[in-house]
Amino acid sequence: MMKKVLFVDDEPLIAQGLSSILDWNKYGIEIAGTANDGLSALEMIREEPVDLLVTDIMMPRMNGLELIRKIKDNEENKTKFIVLSGYEEFEYVKAGIQLGIENYILKPINLEELESTIRHIRGDWEREEIQQVQFEEDWEVLRSNILQRWVSGEIESQEFKHRAQLLGLPLDREKYRLYVIRPILTENCDIIQKVGAIMADPCRELIRAMERLKPRETEVISFMDPDGDMVILYASCGQKDDAAVQRQVKATAQALPGSLEASFWISEGGPGADFKGVQFSYARAKSVFHRFLITGTDRIRFTDADEQGTAASPMIEWNSEKYVELLIEGNTEPVEHFIGEVLWSACRENLTPREACVNTALQLMLAAKEREENPDYSEVFGPLSRISTLPSLIRHVTATVSKSMERQDTVRGEYSPHVAFLVEQVHRHYADELSLKTLSQKVGLHPNYLGQLFQQELGHSFSDFVNQYRIEKATQLLMHTDRKTTEIALSVGYLDTSYFYRQFKKYAGVSPTELRHMYTK
């Protein structure tokens, strides 16, 4: 569950700057807002409590210490506090320490000290959660989170060992063998690859079978990672034969009933490793999904360590001019045939290198999207990270391009003069502040009435239209330039970088960083 942070400082630039000084999402924290004095902050917290308050001391109306005292008057409140101060405010800082603040940080803010404090606070939150949920349903979620941090190398060994004792995890074993299992749902389901019950059920059936058939003196540890893949760890006391465990995993998967309507791609993390080697095994197993696509129709696809070497990326050559001509002609059948021929040309017998295929798929989809008036990029990028097979990639591209062509064929009536004015303003001034209140004054209409006209003619609100157009421009800059994400955010009208990230994920389906990883210039 995401924690919430509120920034309070009478200097607006500092309060807003705190929002972008760190990648707060990295620490499981979302920004609740900013306030410029203690009284305003107290009103916001009474309306919606926060988990962390970062506050200046010297402020008008109510200073930071008074704010902390007021919040602590509520015995149920569990907010943690970080105080910002100047050197001349040391007596106030001592008073803050007596109130139980987590840390005080001198201005200008030391980024490393702030990050260290946040990591410490996150550890406190996790310890509190462990105590709270030992006998609740959230226990399994917390266990998965801790295990994920272990295999990803995001938790110190001593800290993890302490948590593992509370969670009952076996850390005294000599060898850990790791497998990552990705379910590939039948037909078009694997284009969308929903993370949740649809994916979890087939995996849980497989996990139960593995636990029933596990070798002697071996314990099976399993959890679902953030990508919706199941991670399996065989923890054994003795030096069990790696090949025997591998045969057992394959046999268990093959024995699953066909009624589950799912195929499985199982990636091996390499030979058994000790406690510290699990992170390398996890990274090795996961890398297969990022580097390859599978093409066969086998129900169980097992990729062992020997198959995970570097594969030469195929050169995919295609005639872009001919493709654009087909798009202009507007017949979907020859377009779909063209897409299939291009992508199947990259096919390899076992594992097909992923990067060239995905880059080509993006070029094919974007060529069609560029012809739309208001393209929706979420349907292009969103599903890509969960596509595991070459046939699924081809189906995704053809479906996306076909929808785009259908939209282009739709006859749109002329916009009314007032709505046409709004559309033109967005196209010309999207990098500036735009509001119906301001623009309505120029056309002599009430902003509510103008907003209703816009909604009726375009099918969505004016703010949605502005955000979608800005994200479209940002997407083009991310794909075709090397400019920093913060610069791009400013150039398309977002002063708050964290707000830009949220809007980009909402409209594009992926984060700016994920988009750049998917698309190479």
- SS3 for 161-192 is HHHHHHHCCCCCCCEEEEEEEEEEECCCHHHH
Q: What is the token pair recorded at 10?
A: 């009478």
**Domain termination residue (choose one: 286, 307, 328):** 307
Q: What is the DSSP letter of 23?
A: -
Within a domain: 148: no
400 and 503 housed in the same domain: no
226 and 328 housed in the same domain: no
- Residue 83: helix, strand or coil by DSSP? strand
Q: Identify the pLDDT of residue 282.
A: 92
Q: What is the token pair recorded at 204?
A: 């849980």
User: Quick one: how many helices (H) and strands (E) in the chain?
Assistant: 23, 12
Q: Identify the pLDDT of residue 138.
A: 58
**Domain termination residue (choose one: 307, 339, 365):** 307
101 and 187 housed in the same domain: no
Backbone angles phi, psi at 293, to 5 degrees: -120, 150
Domain CATH for 495: 1.10.10.60
Cβ neighbours around 29 below 10 Å, total: 21
Q: Which of 169-173, 244-248, 411-415, 497-501 has the lowest mean pLDDT?
A: 411-415
- Residue 514: helix, strand or coil by DSSP? helix
| pTM for this predicted structure | 0.56
Cα–Cα dist 224/151, whole Å: 12
In Å, what is the CA distance from 159 to each residue of 102, 126, 143, 155, 450?
Answer: 19, 11, 14, 7, 57
Name which of 194, 191, 195 is nearest 395 in CA terms.
191
- Ramachandran region of residue 346, left (φ > 0), alpha (ψ -120 to 50) or beta? alpha
In Å, what is the CA distance from 479 to each residue of 60, 385, 431, 474?
Answer: 46, 17, 19, 9
175 and 303 housed in the same domain: yes
Within a domain: 367: yes
Domain CATH for 70: 3.40.50.2300
In the beta sheet, which residues pair with residue 293? 352
Cβ–Cβ under 8 Å, residues 404 and 368: yes
**Domain termination residue (choose one: 284, 307, 330):** 307
Give residue 199's pLDDT band: very low, low, confident or very high (50, 70, 90): very low
191 and 300 housed in the same domain: yes
pLDDT in tens, 54-67: 988 888 888 888 88
Name which of 301, 13, 87, 346 is nearest 179 in CA terms.
301
Name which of 388, 339, 391 is nearest 361 in CA terms.
339
Domain CATH for 267: 3.30.70.1130
Cα–Cα dist 245/339, whole Å: 41
40 and 125 housed in the same domain: yes
Q: Which of 196-210, 378-392, 394-408 has the lowest mean pLDDT?
A: 196-210
- Residue 412: helix, strand or coil by DSSP? coil
Give residue 78's pLDDT band: very low, low, confident or very high (50, 70, 90): confident
Within a domain: 160: no
Whether residue 108 has a cis bond before it, omega within 30° of 0:
yes
482 and 391 housed in the same domain: no
Name which of 384, 363, 380 is nearest 319 in CA terms.
363
Cβ neighbours around 207 below 10 Å, total: 19
> Residue 487 contacts by C-beta under 8 Å, 6 or more apart in sequence?
none
* Residue corresponding to tokens 């929903």: 194
Q: What is the token pair recorded at 171?
A: 């850390």
284 and 324 housed in the same domain: no
Average pLDDT over residues 181-201: 53
Checking if the pLDDT of 195 tops 50, the result is no
Rounded percentage of the chain residues whose pLDDT exceeds 70? 85
Cα–Cα dist 253/205, whole Å: 10
Checking if the pLDDT of 459 tops 90, the result is no
Domain, as residue range, for 369: 320-409
Backbone angles phi, psi at 369, to 5 degrees: -65, -35
Q: Identify the pLDDT of residue 11.
A: 86
Q: Which of 239-248, 360-369, 407-416 has the lowest mean pLDDT?
A: 407-416
Q: What is the token pair recorded at 105?
A: 């940080």
> Residue 46 contacts by C-beta under 8 Å, 6 or more apart in sequence?
none
Checking if the pLDDT of 305 tops 80, the result is no
Q: Identify the pLDDT of residue 164.
A: 77
Cα–Cα dist 487/482, whole Å: 10
Within a domain: 136: no
Checking if the pLDDT of 409 tops 90, the result is no
Within a domain: 491: yes
Q: Identify the pLDDT of residue 257.
A: 61
398 and 425 housed in the same domain: no
| DSSP states of 260-286 | G-EEEEEEE--S-B-GGGHHHHHHHHH
385 and 464 housed in the same domain: no
302 and 387 housed in the same domain: no
Give residue 75's pLDDT band: very low, low, confident or very high (50, 70, 90): low
189 and 80 housed in the same domain: no
Checking if the pLDDT of 374 tops 80, the result is no
In Å, what is the CA distance from 231 to each residue of 191, 304, 313, 521?
Answer: 22, 15, 28, 33
Average pLDDT over residues 303-307: 74
Cα–Cα dist 304/285, whole Å: 9
Q: What is the DSSP letter of 330?
A: T
Within a domain: 352: yes
Checking if the pLDDT of 396 tops 90, the result is yes
Give 209 or 264, the one with higher predicted confidence: 264
Q: Identify the pLDDT of residue 21.
A: 84
Q: Identify the pLDDT of residue 193.
A: 42
Q: Which of 139-153, 411-425, 445-459, 484-498 has the lowest mean pLDDT?
A: 411-425
Within a domain: 362: yes
Checking if the pLDDT of 512 tops 80, the result is yes
Q: Identify the pLDDT of residue 516.
A: 83
Average pLDDT over residues 188-198: 41
Average pLDDT over residues 460-483: 86
Number of domains in the chain: 4
Give 336 or 243, the one with higher predicted confidence: 336
Q: Identify the pLDDT of residue 382.
A: 80
Instruction: Write down the mean pLDDT value for the chain.
Output: 81
Going by their DSSP bridges, the two strands 52-56 and 29-35 should be labelled as unpaired
Q: Identify the pLDDT of residue 194.
A: 42
Cα–Cα dist 379/376, whole Å: 6
pLDDT in tens, 94-114: 676 667 777 788 788 888 888
Within a domain: 37: yes
